Amino acid sequence: MYLSSNKFSLKLEEATNRYKSRLVLALDYSEVFSRSERNLWNEKKEQLLKKSLRVIESVAKHLAAVKINMQLVLPLGLFDDLQEIVDRVEKYGLPLIADCKINDVGHTNQWIAQHFFNAGFDAVIANPFVGWEDGLNKVFEEARRQDKGVILLVYMSHPAAQEGYGQYVLTSKGRRVAQYIIFAEKALRWEADGVVVGATRPKIVEEVKAILRKKIPIFSPGIGIQGGKIEEVFKSGADYAIVGRTILNSPNPAETARKIKEMINNVVRLLGEK
């Protein structure tokens, strides 16, 4: 049983059961803006917004949650056009995750979290590299105050993740251990509402799962274009798959999302029967 029982965790559980899905959409549509073409900004923003709303409408019934990164936040504005997307996600009762990778000093971290929560996001993703005291403690305090969620980065999905999350470090007690192990242990100690572990590293997913002991859900990005495989990562212990470009770039996003959802469900069902 998961540790958390806040509104984010309950909303995630409800959406998972309602849509019978463990698929999280990474809504990473993007558009490049420049000062030299200000006359096109409104047109580009409108196109980006419409495209995002269309895909939400088409795939919502196949999702457990939606994750939004800076590709949409920066051009559309947190309290501006992005609010239409927030409203549309809310319409389907899906939890909305801000992939803001909070990674600064305490007062700045709190300010970032507060703004995303106030804008309608249900959870934020944060980087445990900055530590607890006057670091992420402010994010957790704000999340608990607003009954929201905090998801920690434990291991990312890109190749160079090994340079940071995979490096070996010496703890204050002289213990030599991989950085991601320390982060997983902190997630448990800090009572995070989820962790991110790349689907491209199924063995690391398995290690993290053993540490978390099913108390904190694992969200795994990197399936599809980055090479992560659904069967491998769910057998290793992932609870949710985060998928973006494979769905967004598909000629039929709804059908692609449906197929991915069913693939996940089949693997989860087989694992449950063992």
Catalytic residues: 101
Paired sense of beta strands 218-221 and 194-197, if any: parallel
The dihedrals phi and psi of 144, each to the nearest 5 degrees, come to -65, -35
The dihedrals phi and psi of 251, each to the nearest 5 degrees, come to -65, -20
Q: Is there a contact between 188 and 119 (Cβ–Cβ < 8 Å)?
A: no
- Per DSSP, 211 falls in state H
85's tokens: 């997307």
Partner residues linked to 195 by β-bridges: 152, 218
Q: Is there a contact between 184 and 212 (Cβ–Cβ < 8 Å)?
A: yes
Residue among 125, 252, 91 at smallest CA distance from 260: 252
Instruction: Calculate Rg over the CA atoms of the chain.
Output: 18
